[in-house]
Amino acid sequence: MPEKFTYPYKYKPHALSLQASAELQEYLQHQNEWEHNFGLKSGQEGKVIGKMFGVLVVQTTQGEIGYLAAFSGKLAGGYHHAKFVPPVYDALTEGSFLNNGMQELTRINEEISSLKEAHTAVNQHKIAELQQVRKENSIALQAMLFNQYYFLNQAGEEKSLREIFRNNAGSNPPAGAGECAAPKLLHYAFKHHMKPLALAEFWWGLSPKSAFWKHGAFYPACREKCAPILAHMLQDLVVDDMPS
């Protein structure tokens, strides 16, 4: 059993994390419940998108040991899949402010494209106005989205994503904050009164954009998006010292 929780920014996966990761990877290799192009099979349609997965070894209030699994962002176009914890906030529900806002941004983009095809001086002025409206709408939509994310810690204390970044980083959250595997796993564990024991995150699939991500390799939690969130979520947990 782990004596302390995993230091998330530099670690050697605990034996239990390795066992949980191996089981999850076996599932990813053979499941047929959803289709996602990781770039590992020939002939698959769609864009190749490698994905970060995480496992969190936990202990229940009954003393049982098991693990939770999560993926970063979306998987196969959605947030909800069997075997994985749900998102902290589901922005894709039908009729949500985000879907409505994205539809409006799409409409503005289409209008801008149509005006650009005409090449008139009047249209140039209208295009500039629409581009400003698009920018303002996008900023407002992002702010509304961040206001929906709330994260728990072991003490049951809940903080919003914007509050966390304002207090810890003195800035607004970056795009995608709150959708990484580690915060999703910890939030679910605390919500269901489970004790986190060990964490590990690994990359699954090819990475066309960067040679940094290697299929099957383990990686630390990202500091830009996760460090302020984890600072709140790991309060009162006894965490390993940073390895030398």
Each residue's pLDDT tens digit, 117-140: 877 777 888 989 999 999 998 888
Taking alpha carbons only, the member of 7, 79, 3, 50 closest to residue 223 is: 7
pLDDT: which is higher, 243 or 229: 229
58: enclosing H helix or E strand: strand 51-59
pTM above 0.95, yes or no: no
pLDDT(152) > 90 = yes
d(CA 24, CA 208): 23
For position 167, what pLDDT does the model report?
A: 85
d(CA 171, CA 183): 19
Q: How confident is the model at residue 43 (pLDDT cuts 50, 70, 90)?
A: confident
For residues 86-92, give the mean pLDDT. 85
CB 6 within 8 A of CB 240: yes
pLDDT: which is higher, 142 or 187: 187
d(CA 92, CA 140): 17
Helix, coil or strand: residue 202: strand
Taking alpha carbons only, the member of 161, 153, 199 closest to residue 177 is: 161
Q: How confident is the model at residue 98 (pLDDT cuts 50, 70, 90)?
A: confident
Residues facing 57 on adjacent strands = 67, 198
Residues facing 200 on adjacent strands = 55
d(CA 86, CA 73): 11
For residues 156-162, give the mean pLDDT. 93
Terminal C-alpha separation, the chain: 22
Helix, coil or strand: residue 54: strand
Mean pLDDT over all residues of the chain? 91
Q: Within a 10 A sphere around the Cβ of 5, how many other Cβ atoms?
A: 22
For position 94, what pLDDT does the model report?
A: 64
Residues facing 151 on adjacent strands = 159
Q: Within a 10 A sphere around the Cβ of 213, how many other Cβ atoms?
A: 18
For position 108, what pLDDT does the model report?
A: 92
Q: Rounded to the nearest 5 degrees, what angle is found at the Cα of 204, between the Cα atoms of 200 and 205?
A: 165
